[in-house]
Amino acid sequence: MRTTKRAEKQALSQLKDELLKRDQLVDKYQGRPIKFLEQYGYRFPDKIKELFEDIFSEKVQYAVVKSCRAGGKTQIASGLAFCFFFFKQWNVGVVAGSKEQALRTIEYCQDISGEPEVVDYVPEETKTIIKGKWGNWIKASPASTKAIRGLHAKGRGMLLILDEEAEMDEAIVRSALKVAKDAKPCIILRLSTFHKISGTFAELVDNHEKYGYRLYGWDSFDVAEKCTEDCATCLSDYYGIRPDIKEREKEFVAYCGGKAKKGKGWLPISNIRQAFIESPREWFEVEDMGMRPSGEGMVLPLEKVKLAFDNDDIGIDITANHWFGIDWGFKGMTAIHSYQQFGDLMQLIDAAEFTEIALPLIVEYLREQSLILGGTNRVYADSSHPFENNHLKNEGFDVDEVVFGAYKETGAGWLRFLMERERYKAPRRLTRTLSQMSNWRRGKEGKIVKKNDHHCDAALAATKYLEDNQSGTVSLGPRMIPKKGAGFMEWWNRLRGRQPAGIGTEK
């Protein structure tokens, strides 16, 4: 008993000391947050300093930042997060493009906070939390609606940060922006490298004044270490290796514009030179200069993709030819597209997504869609999942397995052909499909990049119908009435009123 009381006294004494240290730290650096962060290794080149001061002083309420990779976006966002939490006792919500990105924010905050200020540090699968003694908190969440639900300010001042927004789906961004509605006051900071040519981030940058945001930006030279090289010969180390380098040297100097001479940052100028030498121009402009992709290397023409999706819901003609395109996912997303041929048009009727969901529910969805489309059983599916394809065959579907390794370029060619001739039509509500098709790219070697392309691959698989039809081998098979016999309106009302768990349509 005495031991317990002694331990309690020691704990209370330690807590008192910690609170005293905290108060002394707040008093010492109140109004000087930059000085506070500098002791933790933060650097403030001119453009980053301007952003920090505008946000922390609450001079700017809405800000958008486009920057290069390794340009310090997450670090400065984390520094702002901690200073609002520590000096102003605000809540801070950080929505990141991935769980790993969210954890980086927490790691930066932990580097600053140590033990005295943080009473709870809880890494979870969908979010991580730092909680202060005033009841305020910093929460960092990966880009998922489940994680975002717990970020509401509940009347306290709130700083909301969207880190690497270009990696987020539109639905996530819209959901995230709602969490600060009850904050008093509220500041929103949205940051990203321009990884995608379209999407909410691209739209915001293009229309920042219209939406009431102030635009900030910096490139690798703005955050570089001090350069002492002669600009006229700054790439001289490569003269003997690359015969074309003297001509390209002028281009490199133009990108820099003398900014590296100020030298207030952290990126070694030698690393920037190497990136310039080994990267294609667009790659360097996006990754190192923070510029928007020009459209070079796009699989599909962007303006034609936007035009293709500029339609209201497309009416269904049950007498027309209908079929499905499927890109299977293992733990990731399975995408299913429902198509209709109307004259010389390939019309996307609907798109659905399935994440970690049992195959029978996918079959049920296909049966319901089949009835809506007049009973079609024709499926063009990714061949890499033979178990799933055999299951569909056993359920009565006529499955044509598409070998992406052999067909990918042909299918991409079909989609490009249709887009260019305005023969591919889709409803504008299918925003995720639009986003993925708009950002479908080729890598350095000219091959299509396998990233965020589930809907692209579902569409690509579906073009096999056109390929077969052109060669005269297409067989639509018998129209199939789902096993659960019901009238059309009964099934239609069921479909509208209920959606099985784990299935996400874009309606």
- Reported confidence tier of residue 378, pLDDT bands at 50, 70, 90: very high
256: DSSP letter: H
- Reported confidence tier of residue 459, pLDDT bands at 50, 70, 90: very high
**pLDDT > 90 in the chain, percent:** 48
Question: Using CA atoms, how far apart are residues 445 and 454, in angstroms rounded to an integer?
Answer: 21
Question: Using CA atoms, how far apart are residues 98 and 168, in angstroms rounded to an integer?
Answer: 9
Question: Using CA atoms, how far apart are residues 116 and 105, in angstroms rounded to an integer?
Answer: 19
DSSP letter string, 117-142: T-SEEEE-SS-EEEE-TTS-EEEEEE
* pLDDT (tens digit per residue) in 403-442: 999 999 999 999 999 999 999 999 999 999 999 999 898 8
Overall average pLDDT of the 76-95 stretch: 90
Higher pLDDT, 198 or 457: 457
Stretch among 164-168, 179-183, 286-290 having the lowest mean pLDDT: 179-183
Whether residue 341 is predicted with pLDDT greater than 60 in this model: the reply is: yes
Domains of the chain in start order, with CATH, are: 18-218 (3.40.50.300), 222-287 (no CATH), 302-505 (3.30.420.280)
- Reported confidence tier of residue 273, pLDDT bands at 50, 70, 90: very high
Stretch among 111-115, 161-165, 339-343 having the lowest mean pLDDT: 111-115
| Adjacency order of strands within the sheet including 186-192 | 120-123, 128-131, 137-142, 91-96, 158-163, 186-192, 62-67, 214-218
Stretch among 126-135, 252-261, 289-298, 440-449 having the lowest mean pLDDT: 126-135
Question: Using CA atoms, how far apart are residues 380 and 18, in angstroms rounded to an integer?
Answer: 64
Residues with Cβ within 8 Å of residue 470, at least 6 apart in sequence: none
Higher pLDDT, 500 or 150: 150
Stretch among 121-130, 179-188, 311-320 having the lowest mean pLDDT: 121-130
Whether residue 151 is predicted with pLDDT greater than 80 in this model: the reply is: no
Question: Using CA atoms, how far apart are residues 443 and 433, in angstroms rounded to an integer?
Answer: 20
User: Position of tokens 């390209």?
Assistant: 248
Residues with Cβ within 8 Å of residue 461, at least 6 apart in sequence: 325, 326, 327, 380, 381, 382, 402, 404, 411
Whether residue 63 is predicted with pLDDT greater than 90 in this model: the reply is: yes
Mean residue pLDDT across the chain: 82
Stretch among 90-99, 360-369, 478-487 having the lowest mean pLDDT: 478-487
User: Position of tokens 């290794």?
Assistant: 41
Residue 72 near residue 223, CB atoms below 8 Å: yes
Beta strands 120-123 and 186-192: pairing type? unpaired
Quick check: pTM over 0.85? no
Whether residue 234 is predicted with pLDDT greater than 50 in this model: the reply is: yes
Whether residue 55 is predicted with pLDDT greater than 80 in this model: the reply is: yes
Overall average pLDDT of the 242-254 stretch: 87
Higher pLDDT, 491 or 267: 267
Residues with Cβ within 8 Å of residue 328, at least 6 apart in sequence: 334, 381, 382, 384, 385, 388
State residue 18's pLDDT score: 47
* pLDDT (tens digit per residue) in 7-45: 554 544 544 444 445 566 667 777 889 998 998 889 999
Higher pLDDT, 110 or 171: 171
Higher pLDDT, 128 or 74: 74
Stretch among 15-19, 166-170, 318-322, 365-369 having the lowest mean pLDDT: 15-19
